[in-house]
DNA sequence: TGGCGAATTGGTAAAATGACCAAGGATCGA
DNA sequence: TCGATCCTTGGTCATTTTACCAATTCGCCA
């Protein structure tokens, strides 16, 4: 793995890392249904607003969501809907694992 | 977000976390071309074998790869090929970001 | 214009992650 | 059986991540 290759994998890892947290997955899932302001998301997540704000900042830095200030509120929206396909695959992995577990117990 | 929901997002995050490291992305990429033994992968990655072994253990625990001992070697292989679709999306995100950057400079 | 709600940012402490070294188990050829 | 190779595991230390609190900024309206 040379330097250039490594840089490519690091760039990819940065995106995936941004998704590698339960709260951020929830945020993406929720935003996939339409834009939401931070206070709405905070309410749903049930954590400190500063925590949610920071999670959103991570997603934004990765280019996964976009923000727009309107009045005193900030609305976030998905920028790359393909991210949702992640979930399908993740579910496949989970189901495959579950099946194997079941097979072992059988 | 109730307890059950949270558990679902945590399960998903575990899978994605397993992919959220440049070396592990490289390993998955390489394994997508066919099974490899740990010593081959170690050679390619250029890190300590114990480091590579631990990365592989993370992927295995997530159910993304499977291992098979044959003689003195251990071969790893992809278990859920759909993981490769992650990369397409990740590239899309990266390209979109790059385009926006370019637009800002223009 | 004073104050309130919305949001971000800085700071801090706890927990998780990651890399390497050292040690140990398994397999194979001499 | 001895030694070499392959691989995993345990330990340690540095770095990163994350959650909350406190402080600050911004917009709105009473």
- DSSP annotation of B4: H
Q: Is the CB of A64 less than 8 angstroms away from the CB of B93?
A: yes
> What is the average pLDDT score of chain B?
93
For residue A21, is pLDDT > 90? yes
B contacts of A80 (beta carbons < 8 Å): 89, 92-93, 96
Can you tell me the mean pLDDT for A39-51? Answer: 97
Nearest to B57 by CA among B73, B72, B44, B76: B76
Asked if residues B96 and A63 have their Cβ atoms less than 8 Å apart, the reply is yes
Rounded distance, CA B55 to CA B57, Å? 5
A contacts of B25 (beta carbons < 8 Å): 9, 12-13, 16
Q: How confident is the model at residue A37 (pLDDT cuts 50, 70, 90)?
A: very high
Cα B60 to chain centroid distance, Å, stands at 10
Asked if residues B38 and B74 have their Cβ atoms less than 8 Å apart, the reply is yes
pLDDT in tens, A68-101: 999 999 999 999 888 888 888 899 889 988 887 7
Minimum distance, in Å, between the CA of residue B71 and any CA atom of chain A: 24
Task: Give residue A106's pLDDT.
Answer: 66
pLDDT in tens, B47-90: 999 999 999 999 999 999 999 999 999 999 999 888 888 888 89
Task: Give residue B32's pLDDT.
Answer: 95
Residue to test with chain A: of B18, B65, B82, most A Cβ within 10 A: B82
Rounded distance, CA A66 to CA B56, Å? 34
Q: Say which residue, B91 or A52, is predicted with more confidence.
A: A52
Give the domains, in start order, of chain A with CATH numbers: 3-80 (1.10.10.10)
Q: What strand order describes the sheet that includes A36-37? A: A36-37, A73-78, A65-70
User: For residue B6, what are its two tokens?
Assistant: 């949270």
Asked if residues B25 and A99 have their Cβ atoms less than 8 Å apart, the reply is no
Task: Give residue B106's pLDDT.
Answer: 67
A contacts of B99 (beta carbons < 8 Å): none
Task: Give residue A105's pLDDT.
Answer: 74
Alpha-helical regions (H) of chain B: 3-19, 22-31, 38-45, 49-61, 83-105
Q: What angle do CA B6, B8, B13 make, to 5 degrees?
A: 90
For residue B104, is pLDDT > 80? no
For residue B12, is pLDDT > 70? yes
């Amino acid at each position: 793995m040379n330097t250039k290759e490594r840089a490519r994998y690091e760039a990819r890892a940065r995106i995936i890392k941004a998704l590698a947290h339960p709260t951020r997955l929830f945020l993406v899932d929720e935003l996939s249904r339409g834009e939401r302001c931070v206070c709405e998301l905070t309410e749903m997540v049930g954590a400190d607003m500063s925590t949610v704000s920071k999670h959103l900042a991570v997603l934004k830095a990765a280019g996964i969501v976009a923000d727009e200030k309107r009045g005193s509120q900030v609305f976030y929206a998905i920028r790359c809907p393909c991210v949702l396909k992640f979930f399908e695959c993740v579910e496949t992995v989970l189901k495959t694992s579950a099946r194997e577990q079941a097979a072992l117990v059988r």
